[in-house]
Amino acid sequence: MEKISAGLIMLAEMREKLPPSEKKVASYILEHPSKAIKMTAVELGEASHTSSAAVIRLCKSLNISGVQELKLRIAGDLQREKTDDRDIEPNEPLRSIVEKVTMQSSQILSQTADLIDTVELNRAVSALSKANRIFFFGVGASGITAMDADQKFLRINKNSKAFMDLHLGATAVVNAEEGDVVVGISFSGETHEVAKILEIARETPATTISLTRYGSSLVSSLADICLYTSPNVEATFRSGATSSRLAQLHVIDILFMCVATSDYEQTIDYLDATRTAIQGLHKKVNTRKK
């Protein structure tokens, strides 16, 4: 059976936004995860002073298939080795920093992979594969992700453009047509500029995709298709969006690979052509007149 996790992350992120009865179930599971994975829906309902129906509704709110998947995800969380989430310390040895940053990066990539909904991923890949034009938008560190996405999709001959300026982005998106795709990137999911771009895009026939941290947010509420990264909070010295940017790039890489493999032979031709062109840039320029 496929190994999955991130159940505890999903519960923690969604708890405060759940209806009262579902919130009680989520709180009980978060407080007693080892007990919860051994219980049936009826037993979870009794233990949390709710009902089995509340447990089932909770699974629907988390957009997972049912109680069994929820328990499998929590079991996966419990089996994973706990990592040191502390920030770096004064005069910390270099080897310790290398190991700590590597472990934290590995953790956020695994958590992000576990949070990817294959149904939503498939919808995003389908939209991007057929897109006439793709507009990526993000500000700050998310703007770096937008530029990376633009560079990748340009290499396979997609009509792609990245924007980090709200005015320029709005100018492009307001004229989006059917078959175009607008991708809004925001780790918090509350970035005003990204929300405005998706709000403008909603008034056009374009398909909208959001890439945010897991959980309900303003940006994700404005998108047709929602993709998520791990919601792990940055430590003080990692506040330059180290982990969140890495998680976003991971999802972009997945999207790119999925789109590329959907038209494999043509993609290989495009990649070969772009590789040859880049290599040719380093050759001496021929100045002879024709």
Separation CA 137–CA 183 (nearest Å) = 6
What is the pLDDT at residue 190? 95
pTM: 0.81
**Domain residue spans in the chain?**
7-79, 115-277
Separation CA 12–CA 234 (nearest Å) = 16
Of 120, 101, 72, the C-alpha closest to 229 is 120
Q: Quick check: 58 pLDDT over 60?
A: yes
What is the pLDDT at residue 208? 98
**Across 100-114, average pLDDT:** 86
Long-range CB pairs of 263-270, under 8 A, 24+ apart, other chains included: 263/129, 267/156, 270/155, 270/156, 270/157
Q: Pick left, alpha or beta for residue 227 (phi over 0 → left; psi -120 to 50 → alpha; otherwise beta).
A: beta
Q: Quick check: 240 pLDDT over 70?
A: no
Q: How confident is the model at residue 236 (pLDDT cuts 50, 70, 90)?
A: very low
pLDDT-wise least confident of 67-76, 102-111, 140-149, 193-202? 102-111
Domain 7-79 has CATH 2.40.50.140: no
Find the angle CA(82)-CA(29)-CA(103) to the nearest 5 degrees.
Answer: 15
**Across 157-180, average pLDDT:** 96
What is the pLDDT at residue 239? 46
Q: Return the CATH architecture of domain 115-277.
A: 3-Layer(aba) Sandwich (3.40)
Q: Quick check: 84 pLDDT over 80?
A: no
